[in-house]
Amino acid sequence: MSEEQKWLSEDEQRAWRALMAVVVLLPGALDTQLQRDSHLSNFEYGVLAMLSEAPDRTLRMSQLATLNDSSLSRLSHVARRLEERGSIIRRQCADDRRANIATLTDEGYALVKEAAPGHVARVRELIFDRLSPKQIGELEQIGDAIRSNLDPEKRMPTYVT
């Protein structure tokens, strides 16, 4: 590299460490609450939630993996467990025999619907109760700015409609 390395400034270093602390600590805090209250992992909840918001509560497994930032292999293991619990059904895609789809069952919908209030309360407690309305807007702007660099194809939804 011919250019001199541009290191993080002290302000950037503090911001980076704060962000990394959130990235590292938040999933575990959410996982603990979901396991305790609903016997679901944060990842399982994410899979069920994405299916609950999809048309006909159905998505291709590849799209579901993308929405949960997962490999197909990891998603397949979790999907098998969710299928054994009666929460989803997997089957071959009718218009593409190489693809599989997952559909949220009524039991799975009831499970995610039951888990949602506790999950939202924990998200509110950990994040939003500590922020002013101005900070919430700033958090959205910061998240969007970072996401646009990480997800230029805009695979991840930005809001629920």
HEC-encoded secondary structure of the chain = CCCCCCCCCHHHHHHHHHHHHHHHHHHHHHHHHHHHHHCCCHHHHHHHHHHHHCHHHEEEHHHHHHHCCCCHHHHHHHHHHHHHCCCEEEEEECCEEEEEEEEECHHHHHHHHHHHHHHHHHHHHHCHHHCCHHHHHHHHHHHHHHHHHHCCCCCCCCCCC
Assigned domain for 69 exists: yes
Full-model pTM: 0.87
Instruction: Residue 57: give the domain boundaries.
Output: 41-120
The CATH number assigned to the domain holding 78 equals 1.10.10.10
Assigned domain for 19 exists: no
Domain count, the chain: 1
Q: Which residue has the higher pLDDT, 98 or 51?
A: 51
pLDDT band of 4, cuts 50, 70, 90:
confident
pLDDT band of 161, cuts 50, 70, 90:
very low
Assigned domain for 90 exists: yes
Assigned domain for 9 exists: no
Assigned domain for 34 exists: no
pLDDT in tens, 34-89: 999 999 999 999 999 999 999 999 999 999 999 999 999 999 999 999 999 999 99
Assigned domain for 108 exists: yes
Residue 159, pLDDT score: 54
Residue 95, pLDDT score: 86
